[in-house]
């Protein structure tokens, strides 16, 4: 069950510092988002951040494929 209440400034600072560490950030986002032990506000933020990461990854794949196709067609010309 998610905790309710306010996330303090210090907790947000620690959270942001942890988000700078690769791999650890993804693990923590999953734990906070779906572990059920985080503050409700932090859990919602973690879920939203994970959604943005997935959207960014998919858009990167689409744009990368489009650019690869453009460069491949330029080479044949």
pLDDT at 28 over 90: yes
Predicted confidence band of residue 53 (pLDDT cuts 50, 70, 90): very high
pLDDT at 49 over 70: yes
Contacts 24+ apart (CB under 8 A), 35-40: 36/1, 36/2, 37/2, 37/3, 38/2, 38/3, 39/2, 39/3, 39/4, 39/5, 39/7, 39/11, 40/2, 40/3, 40/4
């Amino acid at each position: 069950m998610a905790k309710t209440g306010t996330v303090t400034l210090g907790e947000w600072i620690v959270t942001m510092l942890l988000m700078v560490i690769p791999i650890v950030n993804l693990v923590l986002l999953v734990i906070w988002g779906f572990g059920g032990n985080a503050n409700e506000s932090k859990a919602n933020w973690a879920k939203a951040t994970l959604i943005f990461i997935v959207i960014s990854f998919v858009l990167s794949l689409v744009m990368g494929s489009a650019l690869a196709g453009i460069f491949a067609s330029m080479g044949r010309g």
